């Protein structure tokens, strides 16, 4: 029997993907570093379905949050909750237009069986600023995640055995717009958008801006935007299986493959 991944005991690992369908107002989403360009709403839905199908095809349980048409950026669910072992942290987005997205994430957060906590005022924090590498949590300090939000996260995580490292991010929307991590913990990023590569224990530059974001699917497989073919080749050269999917309509809104879902495993 083919099993996509297995727990240490040999049983199939339980993996849930939290997603929300794109809003019909996606084109009106927040923009920070990019110019606004036309967005094809139908193509966005097609790309979103294809993205979700990648996970379904690998055996993930997909949990769809209710559509939130009044929230143009609601599809970028990663920003509303951050999952740790035993803990689900509901965020408080720095973008006012996005605050209303969080409450509808609460039932899904509770369904993970984890303790649900939240970032509170005056703290702000968005999930795109949180990068986990082993037991280290990098927290991007951005226009969306302030010092108080980072401090609240630190006080939640350090007693639970996580190392929390704050990193400056001024050249990209979120930390994970600039860097993500491979299964072996190597941090990858497109150097022009990374403030300080020396903050990471191991850093590998990638040749394309769209190549910075990977979703780790298992120890040898990652998901990448199909707009980064040279990065795909680079990662294949390191022995990884690289699946690609088109996310152009979300990239136009400064989104990427990571922010379209929350992975619970
Ligand atoms: C925003 O500016 O909030 C959205 N247009 C894009 C959010 C992308 N989220 C992410 O990378 N985690």
Which pLDDT tens digits describe the chain residue by residue (265 residues)? Answer: 233 344 444 444 689 999 999 999 999 999 999 999 999 999 999 999 999 999 999 999 999 999 999 999 999 999 999 999 999 999 999 999 999 999 999 999 999 999 999 999 999 999 999 999 999 999 999 999 999 999 999 999 999 999 999 999 999 999 999 999 999 999 999 999 999 999 999 999 999 999 999 999 999 999 999 999 999 999 999 999 999 999 999 999 999 999 999 999 9
Answer whether residue 87 is part of any domain.
yes
Tell me if 152 is assigned to some domain: yes
- For residue 109, the domain's CATH number is 3.75.10.10
Print the domain residue range for 29: 11-264
- The DSSP secondary-structure symbol of 252 reads T
For residue 122, whether the previous peptide bond is cis, meaning omega lies within 30 degrees of 0, is: yes
Residue 6 lies in a domain: no
Q: Does 137 reside within a domain?
A: yes
217 in any annotated domain = yes
Ligand 1 atom nearest the C-alpha of 256 is 11
7 Cα: distance to centroid of ligand 1 (angstroms)? 32
Residues 6+ apart with CB under 8 A from 128: 76, 78, 79, 140, 144, 173, 174, 175, 176, 177, 258, 259
CA of 64 to the centre of ligand 1 (A): 19
| pTM for the structure as a whole | 0.95
Domain presence at residue 41: yes
Residue 50: inside a domain, yes or no?
Answer: yes
User: How far are the Cα atoms of 17, 140, 222, 228, 243 from residue 58, in angstroms, in the given order?
Assistant: 11, 30, 12, 22, 11
Distance CA 108, CA 106 (A): 5
Closest C-alpha to 129, from 138, 116, 119: 138
Establish whether residue 144 lines the binding site of ligand 1, counting it when its CB lies within 6 angstroms of any ligand atom.
Answer: no
Which backbone phi and psi does 88 adopt, to 5 degrees? -120, 120
Q: For the chain, how many structural domains are there in total?
A: 1
> For residue 4, is it within any domain?
no
């Amino acid at each position: 029997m083919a099993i996509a991944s297995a727990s240490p005991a040999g049983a199939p690992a339980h993996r849930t993907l939290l997603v929300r369908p794109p809003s019909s107002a996606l084109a009106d989403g927040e923009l920070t570093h990019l110019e606004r360009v036309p967005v094809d709403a139908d193509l966005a839905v097609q790309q979103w379905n294809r993205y979700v199908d990648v996970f379904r095809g690998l055996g993930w349980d997909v949990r769809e949050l209710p559509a939130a048409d009044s929230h143009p950026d609601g599809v970028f669910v990663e920003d509303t909750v951050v999952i740790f072992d035993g803990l689900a942290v509901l965020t408080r987005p720095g973008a006012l237009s996005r605050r209303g997205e969080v409450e509808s994430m609460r039932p899904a957060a509770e369904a993970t069986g984890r303790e649900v906590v939240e970032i509170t005022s005056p703290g702000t924090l968005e999930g795109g600023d949180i990068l986990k590498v082993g037991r280290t949590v990098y927290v991007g300090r951005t226009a969306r995640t302030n010092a108080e939000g980072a401090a609240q996260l630190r006080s939640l995580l350090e007693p639970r055995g996580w190392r929390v490292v704050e990193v400056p991010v001024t050249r990209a929307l979120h930390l994970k717009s600039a860097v993500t991590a491979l299964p072996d913990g190597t941090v990858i990023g497109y150097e022009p958008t990374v403030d300080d590569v020396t903050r990471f224990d191991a850093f590998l530059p990638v040749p394309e801006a769209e190549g910075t974001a990977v979703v780790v699917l298992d120890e040898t497989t990652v998901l990448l935007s199909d707009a980064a073919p040279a990065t795909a080749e680079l990662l294949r050269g390191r022995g990884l299986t690289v699946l690609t999917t088109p996310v152009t309509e979300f990239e136009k809104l400064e989104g990427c493959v990571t922010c379209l879902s929350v992975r619970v495993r």
